[in-house]
Amino acid sequence: MKQRLAVIVSGLGGMEGNGERLLHHVSLEAFDASLCVLAQRPRFHDHEHVLREANAFLFITGTYWDSWSSYLQRFLEEATPSEATEIWLGKPAAIWVTAHSVGGKGVLSRLQGVLSTFGVLIPPMTGIVITKASELAARHAPEASEDFFTSRDLEISLHNLAQALEPKPAYRAWDVERGDPMQRWVP
């Protein structure tokens, strides 16, 4: 039986935005996935039954003025009474953030903190920030892409999310630049 995954698409573009496009880079076939599109139905209670039945979560948001979307903000505010209940407690989550160039890492870290407070488990290497800048760098300077999250890392995020549901997880790591981290790269 497939694990039930609630995919919370919270970008302002809904199913027409950059966050939704990330789903085209992965296969969700390992899961019984249900989409919760906050641009269409922004209220927490509209999705509570899906969240309650889910075994895992995938949150997708854009970066708006150094924060997540206003849809996700409202959703989290309305979800606050469910904090530390069976809806969230011990269920793993992956988080994908999109951004044009900067601000996404702060959004990711803060959202991981909020979800952890809700009782959600954050497995290793499931939080990713995909930026327009990193995608362009990966296309034009592949040797530099080891230092950036790119859409190729999304499958690893989903793999680790699925592994968090296993009795003995076999997590995978994405590529990182293993050379000299102190190297000078500014000309």
Q: Is residue 186 one of the residues assigned to a domain?
A: no
**CATH number, domain with residue 8:** 3.40.50.360
Q: Is residue 20 one of the residues assigned to a domain?
A: yes
Q: Is residue 175 one of the residues assigned to a domain?
A: no
Is the separation of the CB atoms in 144 and 137 below 8 Å? yes
CA distance 39 to 12: 6
Closest Cα to residue 123, out of 166, 160, 165, 174? 160
Q: Is residue 144 one of the residues assigned to a domain?
A: yes
Domain span including residue 137: 3-163
Sheet of strand 127-131: strand arrangement: 31-37, 3-9, 56-62, 93-99, 127-131
pLDDT of res. 50: 98
Q: Is residue 178 one of the residues assigned to a domain?
A: no
- Could you tell me whether strands 31-37 and 127-131 are parallel, antiparallel, or unpaired per DSSP bridges? unpaired
Q: Is residue 128 one of the residues assigned to a domain?
A: yes
Domain total in the chain: 1
What tens-digit pLDDT sequence spans the chain (187 residues)?
799 999 999 988 877 877 788 888 898 998 999 999 999 999 999 999 999 999 999 999 999 999 999 999 999 999 999 999 999 999 999 999 999 878 899 999 999 999 999 999 999 999 999 988 888 887 887 776 667 787 888 999 999 999 999 999 999 887 776 677 677 767 7
pLDDT of res. 45: 97
Is the separation of the CB atoms in 87 and 25 below 8 Å? no
Q: Is residue 10 one of the residues assigned to a domain?
A: yes
Q: Is residue 185 one of the residues assigned to a domain?
A: no
